[in-house]
Chain A
Amino acid sequence: MPVSAVELTKRFGDVTAVSELSFDVEAGTITGFLGPNGAGKTTTLRLLLGLAAPTHGRALVFGQPYAELEWPARRVGAVLEAADLHPGRTGRDHLRVLARAVRVPPSRVDEVLALVDLAAAADRRAAAYSLGMRQRLALAAALLGDPELLILDEPANGLDPEGVRWLRDFLRAFATQGRTVFVSSHHLAEVAQTVERVVIIKHGRLVADVPLSELVAESSSLEDAFLDLTAGSRP
């Protein structure tokens, strides 16, 4: 199983960000990870990627904690925040630094730059990048190891309509190759066009883990279903 959360709980002091959350993401699917702001989506992704330690339960990728994977970049590519860049470093150098750490040849940097259509801007400093360019650079970094699983946090943020369509096509093609995408998003209309399954959380707890078709069949749209399921999450 590419992604498994097993009774996953994370507390920050008195605040419980994620609470006894269990779900699986199956191979070869695009699964959307939805929830209102502050529902615990980013925390869950950080737990899955070993950046934060669970208070209780397990966060597994390919059946193991991320940090115990033999060669993690070969299995998992992740984008958490597109702003995770040094503004003084060029896009190409950002990727060269990571390529060395994930043990892929320098030629792979040019490949992923071409893949996300960023080759022309690669030698500019990241400070000059638009949010959309940062998103694409972060995605390029995630693809360096040619992973089987992509974990993406709000990847469509800052993308223009052309970029959104490009991302959708890219993720579909990625999943068609038998690979897996687990993607958090606020853009419900976009999610409705891209994902096959949705995991929805509210206050750190699971409220739905169903095929998109099932959810939409019961309501008139994903938006209606989402708002019904997460109603009352605002104080």
Chain B
Amino acid sequence: MTHQLSSELLKLRTTRTVAALLLAAAGLTLLGTLIEGLSRTAGELAQEDAQRTMFSAGISAVFFATLAGLIVVTSEFRYGTIRPTLLAEPRRRIVLAAKLLVAALAGVLFAIVCVGIAFGGGLAILAARDIHAAVSAAHITPLVFGTIASSALGAMLGVAVGTLIRNQAGAIVAIAAYAFLVDAALFAAAPSVGRFLPGKAGDALAARPDELLLGPGAGAAMLIAWTLAFVAAAVVRSDRSDV
């Protein structure tokens, strides 16, 4: 298992894909922080809620971590490297487990970078505009650790979905359409149901300030349940499929 893990880690580091996704996540986080921090009046931004929204811009990490997880698997099918991979380690569950772990690590890295940018940028904006920071450790701790957990689980969900769909373009379109259309539309139409979906459960876990979401604990439980369900389906698909 450690050999496969080390091989999968090296795979991530020897192409530019994951670095590009990390850059995109970081850029979007910076943009979100700047918009939230500069588009409000000083009076508005002095409010605790506005500051929490600004500091939670690091949540961009979750979507890009999910894409990274997806690409960890689908690029193997796109370029056929799944064959050498499975010749080197024919025990498919070991390969899948290594990919899940490596994607989760990437998710943690994405979240740390993005949360760091949101906090660094947010605090700099507050200082530059001479606004007192109104958020407390009680707000910050769940936001930081929730974003990290949500991003790690999102990346694992990406690996599972990638294993199920295999086709890279198809899987990316499916995830993007789900995240930006289905999840959002269902939540808007019926929040009491939509909040249990993976996207909104992830938002809840990352302590995004929204009254209609589940609490962070319930969000974590839901996202873990979704991830386990997709991973179980991925194990079955990976065990049975020809490559």
User: Which residue among A49, A73, A76, A84 has the maximum number of chain B CB atoms within 10 Å of its CB?
Assistant: A84
Taking the nearest CB of chain A, how far is it from the CB of B206, in angstroms? 31
Are B79 and A101 in touch, CB under 8 angstroms? no
Are A100 and B80 in touch, CB under 8 angstroms? no
Taking the nearest CB of chain A, how far is it from the CB of B180, in angstroms? 27
Bound-complex Cα distance A171 to B196 (A) = 60
Are B90 and A101 in touch, CB under 8 angstroms? no
A-B contact count (CB 8 A): 78
Question: Does A103 touch B at the CB level, under 8 Å?
Answer: yes
Bound-complex Cα distance A26 to B134 (A) = 78
Given contacts A46-B242, A103-B3, contact A72 B87 (CB under 8 A): yes
Contact residues of A between 46 and 83, Cβ < 8 Å to B: 46, 49-53, 66-67, 69, 72-73, 76, 78, 80-81, 83
| Chain A, residue nearest B86 (CB) | A51
Residues 53-82 of chain B, each 1 if its beta carbon lies under 8 Å from chain A, else 0: 000000000000000000000010001110
Question: Does B238 touch A at the CB level, under 8 Å?
Answer: no
Given contacts A66-B90, A73-B88, A88-B15, contact A98 B7 (CB under 8 A): yes
Are B17 and A88 in touch, CB under 8 angstroms? yes
Question: Does A102 touch B at the CB level, under 8 Å?
Answer: yes
Q: Which residues of B contact A101 (CB under 8 A)?
A: 3-4, 7, 85, 88-89
Q: Which residues of A contact B14 (CB under 8 A)?
A: 89-90, 93, 96-97
Bound-complex Cα distance A52 to B88 (A) = 15
Question: Does A143 touch B at the CB level, under 8 Å?
Answer: no
Contact residues of B between 81 and 124, Cβ < 8 Å to A: 81, 83-91
Taking the nearest CB of chain A, how far is it from the CB of B90, in angstroms? 4
| Chain B, residue nearest A47 (CB) | B242
Bound-complex Cα distance A83 to B10 (A) = 20
Report how many residues on chain B are interfacial, defined by Cβ distance under 8 Å: 26
Are A88 and B16 in touch, CB under 8 angstroms? yes
Bound-complex Cα distance A214 to B4 (A) = 46
Bound-complex Cα distance A78 to B75 (A) = 21
Bound-complex Cα distance A88 to B11 (A) = 11
Are A98 and B84 in touch, CB under 8 angstroms? yes
Are A51 and B81 in touch, CB under 8 angstroms? no
Question: Does A215 touch B at the CB level, under 8 Å?
Answer: no
Contact residues of B between 11 and 33, Cβ < 8 Å to A: 11, 14-17
Question: Does A87 touch B at the CB level, under 8 Å?
Answer: yes
Given contacts A84-B83, A96-B10, A100-B10, contact A50 B15 (CB under 8 A): no
Q: Which residues of A contact B83 (CB under 8 A)?
A: 51, 80-81, 84
Q: Which residues of A contact B15 (CB under 8 A)?
A: 86, 88-89
Question: Does A85 touch B at the CB level, under 8 Å?
Answer: yes
Q: Which residues of B contact A138 (CB under 8 A)?
A: 84
Question: Does A141 touch B at the CB level, under 8 Å?
Answer: yes
Bound-complex Cα distance A67 to B238 (A) = 14
Give me 18 A-to-B residue pairs in the complex whose CB atoms sit less than 8 angstroms apart, sorted by A's number. Answer: A66-B90, A69-B90, A73-B87, A76-B87, A78-B87, A81-B83, A84-B80, A84-B81, A90-B14, A93-B10, A96-B14, A97-B7, A97-B11, A100-B7, A100-B10, A101-B3, A101-B88, A103-B3
Other A-B pairs beyond A73-B88, A81-B83, A98-B84, 13, CB < 8 Å: A53-B242, A67-B91, A76-B87, A83-B79, A84-B80, A84-B84, A88-B16, A88-B17, A89-B14, A96-B14, A97-B7, A101-B4, A103-B3
